[in-house]
Amino acid sequence: MTVYLARRALQAVAVVLLVTLIVFGLVRLAPGGVTTAVLGSGSAHQQFLAQYLTWLGRVLSGNLGRSARLNESVGALLAASLPRTLVLTGVSTLIALLVAVPVGLLQAVRRSSTVDHVLRGLTYLCYGMPPFVLGSVLILYFAVDWHFFGAEGPQAAGIGGVLADPRDLTLPVLTLALVTIAIFARYMRSSALDSLDQEYVQAARARGGGERRVIVSHVLRNSLVPVVTLIGLSLPQIVGGALVVEILFNFQGMGWQIWQAAVNHDVPVTLGFTLVIGVAAAVGSLLADIGYAILDPRVRISRP
């Protein structure tokens, strides 16, 4: 396992470096003095590689630059918005997992039944509905018409502050969770169908295990292994969804900040935030692979 993980870690480092290269390359290719805006006037005459290395060195030392619009460093903006986004994505992903795993499993066990068809229709619906439409509909009914919840996300700062305002947090979390459930449940269903077809499930039944026992201890376990990796792989999508949700609910997290910066052509901020998100996603994917290695003994214990 150590070898496997070490190799994956090396890959992750390569991916992170490539992310920085792509992000910087896109900015560098842009017309006008965009690069200068990021690096300062001294860099105008430098070659691409030199500029990239200068920038990379700065980034590695923790300096993401200063906003062109606000009198603040990118790092400070990040420190303010990152916890808020973490709460939103973390809570939503957790809820999505708690719902999608049983739902997908139920669909697989009751394959082709009415329950399966109805749930399948619902996951199609959540898959096809853009988050801003879903969120808007929720606002329209739960906030505007019935006043159950707030139409805007919590405005308080810090993780504690956000969590202390469940009335405003509910709708953003619900929106993001529903979208994520659609991804996970679809996948869990096909993963569980695969496991159900396996002969070891039949063998477990032949040992007299009740259906519940067979499903919990054999099917669920084996279907979860690929789902864990899916969480890592869908991190970018979840963050993309979070961006839309933050803007819709005026919830000032990282997505909202990027959008503000993009609208105002504040390149240092978009650049810095994009970089952080990309690196986080690459690391998340690595973490998911570690989880996968822990769950699957075939990876954890290699054959002697």
Partner 1 sequence: MTAHQAAGDKAGPVRRLTGAAGVSLAAADPADPAGPAAPVRGSRGRHAGPAASPPGAAAQRAAMASRMRRGLAACRAYPLATTGGGIVVAMAAFCFLGPLVYHTDQLHVFLSQANLTPRSGHPLGTDGDGTDELGRLMTGGQVSLELAAAAGVLAAVLGSLWGAVAGYLGGAADAVMMRVVDAGIAIPAVVLLLLLTSIYQPSTAMLVLVIAGTSWLSTARLVRAEALTLRMREYVQAAVVMGGGSFRIILRHIAPNAIGTIVVNVTFQIANAILILATLSWLGMGVQFPHVDWGDMIASATQTISDGYWWEILAPGAAITLVVVAFAMLGDGLRDAFSEAGYDAVPASAAEADRPVPGPGAR
Partner 2 sequence: MSGPPSGPVLEITGLHTEIRRNGAAVRAVDGVSLTVAAGECLGLVGESGCGKTMTARSVMRLLPAGGVITAGSVVLAGTELTALSERNMQTIRGNDVGMVFQDPSSSLDPTMQVGRQIAESVVVHRGASRAVATARAIEMLSLVKIADPERVARGYPHQLSGGMRQRAMIAAALACEPRLLIADEPTTALDVTTQRDILDLIGDLRAALGMAVILVTHDLGVIAGRTERVAVMYGGRIVEQAATSAVFARPRHPYTEALFEALPEMASSRLASRGLYSIPGRPPDLVTRSPGCSFAQRCRYVRDWCATHEPALDGDHPGHSYACFFPVGVMGQGGADGQGGADGQGGAGGRNTLISAWVSGRGRQAAGREATAVPADPAAEPLLRVSGLVKDYPVAGGVLGRRSGAVSAVADVSFELLAGQTFGLVGESGSGKTTLARLLVGLERPDAGAIVFDGADLAAMSARQRRQRRSGIQLMFQDSFASLDPRMRVRSILSEPLAIHKTVRRRGYRRQVLRILDEVGLPADAENQYARAFSGGQRQRLALARALIQRPALIVADEPVSALDVSVQAQILNLMRKLQRQYELSYLFISHDLSVIRYMADTIGVMYLGKLVETGPAQEICTAPGHPYTASLIAAVPAVVTGPEVTQPRPAGTLLAGTLLAGTGQPGMTALPGASGPPVAGPDPAHPPSGCRFRVRCAFARDVCAEQEPALRPHAVPGQLVACHFPLGPAAAGQVAGRTAPSIA
**Residue numbers at the binding site for partner 2 (CB under 8 A):** 3, 6-7, 10, 198-200, 202-210, 213, 217-218, 221-222, 225, 295-298, 301, 303-304
What are 73's strand-pairing partners?
66
Smallest distance from partner 1 to CB 204, Å: 18
Q: Is 252 helix (H, G, I), strand (E, B) or coil?
A: coil
Smallest distance from partner 2 to CB 183, Å: 23
103 binds, among partner 2, partner 1, none (CB under 5 to 8 A by kind): none
Closest by CA to 21, choosing from 293, 274, 200, 217, is 274
58-78 in b/e burial notation, b at 16+ Cβ within 10 A?
ebeeeebbbbeebeebbeebb
Residue 15 as a binder of partner 1 (CB under 8 A): the answer is yes
Copy the structure tokens of residue 130: 């853009």
Contacts of residues 36-45 at CB distance under 8 Å and 24 or more positions apart, as own/partner, are 37/68, 37/267, 37/268, 38/65, 38/267, 38/268, 38/271
Q: Number of helices (H) and strands (E) in the chain: give both, helices first.
A: 15, 0
Residue 295 as a binder of partner 1 (CB under 8 A): the answer is no
279 binds, among partner 2, partner 1, none (CB under 5 to 8 A by kind): partner 1
Per-residue x/- mask for partner 1, residues 34 to 73, rule CB under 8 A?
x---------------------------------------
Q: Residue 172 carries which side chain, given as an amino acid letter?
A: P
Smallest distance from partner 2 to CB 209, Å: 5
| Candidate segments 72-80, 105-113, 212-220, 262-270, binder of partner 1 by CB under 8 A | 262-270
Smallest distance from partner 2 to CB 193, Å: 12
Euclidean distance between CA atoms 256 and 88, whole angstroms: 12
209 binds, among partner 2, partner 1, none (CB under 5 to 8 A by kind): partner 2
* Integer angstrom CA distances of residue 220 from 101, 118, 182, 223: 9, 22, 18, 5
Euclidean distance between CA atoms 51 and 222, whole angstroms: 48
Copy the structure tokens of residue 36: 């200068």
According to CB under 8 A, which residues from 228 to 257 bind partner 1? 229-230, 233-234, 236-237, 239-240, 243-244, 247-248, 255
Residue 118 as a binder of partner 1 (CB under 8 A): the answer is no
291: CB partners within 8 A, 6+ apart: 228, 229, 231, 232
Smallest distance from partner 1 to CB 127, Å: 6
Residues that bind partner 1 in the complex, under the rule CB under 8 A: 11, 14-16, 18-19, 21-23, 26-27, 30, 34, 124-125, 127-130, 132-133, 136-137, 139-140, 144-145, 151, 183, 186-187, 190, 226, 229-230, 233-234, 236-237, 239-240, 243-244, 247-248, 255, 258-259, 261-263, 265-267, 270-271, 273-274, 277-279, 281-282, 285, 289, 292
